[in-house]
Amino acid sequence: MIIRRAKAEEATTIANYIFLAMEEITYQFIGENSKEKALHFLSSLIAAPNNQYSYQNCWVVEIENELVAAALVYNGGKLAELREPVAQKIKTLFNRSFTPEDETQAGEYYIDCVGVNPNQQGKGIGSKIFHFLINEYVKHRKETLGLLVDQENPKAKRLYLKLGFEPVGEKTLVGKKLEHLQIKK
């Protein structure tokens, strides 16, 4: 298993994994329940530089030359700058405004989402991604790592707490209350 930076040409595969983690939110962003349009939207952003979903902010897991998972992580202090191209894409493609609440802030690198191929789930790949991210950002870079967890997903919260994340507050994203967790240097 190799965990490495994503490449722009892998956007279509990555979009499928990211979509697993943010299907409901993507539909709210684009204002439609079209999986095809949602995947096209995500893929176009992943393939482009300088936005919150860009390949530049993506780590992928490769097993036997096949991508099986992806994780989006970016500097929370750059959220407004990284979100602007997303807002423009939503305006252009779907004629909608895009002004969700801020899910992160300066002072943390934010794990936006992690998605694992359904055929590979239950094999510990998700946990390995989180261990890698903690090692990369917290131990090596000496940064704080943050994420949001749905209050209706106690299994995920237990995993994050076990990994060393601690509750630091609540946030709302597209109207949904979420718990904000961090692991600090």
Cβ atoms of 75 and 14 within 8 Å: the answer is: no
Domains of the chain (ranges, CATH numbers): 2-183 (3.40.630.30)
Report if pTM > 0.85: yes
Mean pLDDT of the chain: 95
Q: How far is residue 69's CA from residue 58's CA, in Å, rounded to a whole number?
A: 10
What would the two tokens of residue 115 be? 């998605």
- List, for residues 96-114, the tens digit of each pLDDT value: 998 889 999 999 999 999 9
User: What is the DSSP pairing of strand 109-116 with strand 145-150?
Assistant: parallel
- List, for residues 63-93, the tens digit of each pLDDT value: 999 999 999 999 999 999 999 999 999 999 9
Residues 6+ apart with CB under 8 A from 115: 16, 17, 18, 19, 20, 21, 69, 70, 71
